[in-house]
Amino acid sequence: MIYLSDFHDLQGQSTMSLCNTFNLAFSDYIVPVNLTPSVMEEKFQGENTSLEWSIGAFNGAELGAFILHGADDKFAPTVLYNGGTGVTPAYRGQHLVQKMYEAYIPRYQDAGVRRIVLEVLTSNLPAIKAYKNSGFEKNRVLECFKGDVRAGLPAAPVMLREQRQPNWLLYGTFMDMEPSWCNLLSSASREKTTTVWEALQDEQVIGFIAVNVLTRRVRSIAVDPRYRRSGVGNALLKHTAEALPGTLTVINIDDRYQGTCRFLEQAGLNNYITQYEMVASI
């Protein structure tokens, strides 16, 4: 076995190379993952991934392991988001995740980073152990849903329109739950392939849904509190399902918001995985 100790950032790595390494690292993952370069570019855009703040473990020019970090500010971040950690099969068993963080956390501290956030499947015990050994602690439980919106879903008779100039500030006032990093409205606003539909009553916006049309992943859905439990959310989901036929996914719903979980289940989506959000204060 070749042991990796050459750690440096990922600047200069092409999207194609990173995509190939990412898919190889996740080839036997619990949830099937097979990104295309275009989907990876969109992921990077939405999560504000910075190759300068990401980490790679190399064997010469070969990338054997990586940690992809998004940044709240690419020039002077205080928070980093681990949007993907992977080790290719040939280099497993070397505690590379822990070693990469041991090498880079002091640099992040010196640069002003104060927190690193990530999500990990609750069933992925080796990864949870590696993150705990790197200083991460569980912060909250996040539920993920997938499925086809059920036929005949009762929906409010509201007007629905695509909005090409989303009012993200307004939408934020409809939301109760703190979104995970990839579902932040700022993340959705950066994605070029995210579409927003609004629900209107008497020409007033009373709800919205933001969906990545490439992956059919709902980034955010919310209704003005004054109009909830009247079928507005159902109308938004139903319209999305008609516009984007196929399976929809909604990830990272804080499990303390059981009303949202029940809403998705009643619409026909199933809770297919559960994740921990973990945070390292550095």
CATH superfamily of the 6-135 domain: Gcn5-related N-acetyltransferase (GNAT) (3.40.630.30)
Closest CA to 213 of 188, 179, 235, 233: 188
Backbone dihedral angles phi then psi of residue 175, each to the nearest 5 degrees: -100, 140
**Per-residue pLDDT tens digits for 126-158:** 999 999 999 999 999 999 999 999 988 999 999
Of 117, 118, 114, 102, the closest CA to residue 76 belongs to 114
Residue with tokens 């939408």: 171
The class level of CATH for 145-273 reads: alpha beta
Confidence of residue 30 (pLDDT cuts 50, 70, 90): confident
Q: For residue range 97-111, what is the model confidence (pLDDT) as tens digits? A: 999 999 999 999 999
> Model confidence over 41-61: pLDDT tens digits?
999 999 999 999 999 999 999
Q: Which amino acid is at 159?
A: M
CB 269 within 8 A of CB 236: no
SS3 content of the chain, % helix, strand, coil (to 5): 30, 35, 35
Q: What is the pLDDT of residue 194?
A: 95
pLDDT of residue 1: 81
CATH 3.40.630.30 residue ranges of the chain are 6-135, 145-273
State the average pLDDT for the chain.
Answer: 96
